[in-house]
Amino acid sequence: MRTRSLLALLLLIPLVDAFVLVAIVGSGVLTALQTVALVVLTGLIGMILVRAEGRNTLVRFQQKAATGSAPTDELLDGGLLIAAGAFLLTPGLVTDLIGFLLVLPPTRYPIRIALKRWVIVPYLDKQTDGFATGNVWTFGFPDADGDSDPFGSGGFDVGPGGSSPGTGGGADDIGNDDPLGASGSTTDDEEYVDVDFEVSDDSSRES
C-alpha cells in the first residue's frame, strides 16, 4: 500500500509542476523564455550544491569509518542527495523546490531525522523482530498486548483448587507440617509413632 502511494505521489509531482509552469506563463509574470531560463538556472545551481554536499558527506563518511563508527546519517544523506539530484534534473519549478529542500542542510537534516524515525527504524524493527532497536523481550513469553510476563499469565498457572503445578495442594496446604505434600500426607485414621533414642557415653564407663 505504501509503495502504491509513493508511486502515485511521484507521478503527481510532474503533473503539478506542469500546471505551475502553465499558470506562470499564462498569468504573464514571466514569459515562456524567462520561465525556461529560470528552470535551467535553478537546476544548475542545485547540481552545484549537490556536488558540494556530496563531497562533505563523503568526508564525514570516511572519518566515521576510520574511527569505527557506523556512518548511518551519512548513508541517509547520500540517499537524500541522490534523490535531490534526480529532482533537480527534472525540468520544473516544483521538482527544483523539492530538490533544494533535500540538498540544503537546514532542511535536509529534519527530513533525515523524520525518515530515520518513521521509516527506517520501524522497517528494520519489523524485519528483525525488535533486535534493531533492542525492543525485545528476553525472559518469559509476551502476552497478547506484547508485554513480557516472566511466568505466563500473571504468574504461575493456577490449577483447580488454587494449586500450582509442582505443588502438593492448594491454599489449604499452606502451613501443613507434612513435607511430602498430598502424596505423603496421612489420613485421620493414622497416627504418628514417636521413637526416642538414648545414646550412652561408653567412654565415661571405661574411665
Give pLDDT tens digits for 50-101. 999 999 999 999 999 999 998 999 999 999 999 999 999 998 999 999 999 9
Average pLDDT over residues 192-200: 56
The candidate with the shortest Cα–Cα distance to 93, out of 24, 11, 8, is: 24
Half-sphere CA count of 85, side-chain side, radius 13 A: 13
pLDDT value at residue 11:
84
This prediction's pTM: 0.62
Give pLDDT tens digits for 118-130. 888 888 878 777 7
Q: Which residue has the cell 551519512?
A: 74
- Residues with Cβ within 8 Å of 64's Cβ and at least 6 positions away in sequence, in order, are 70, 71, 74
Q: Is the pLDDT of residue 188 over 90?
A: no
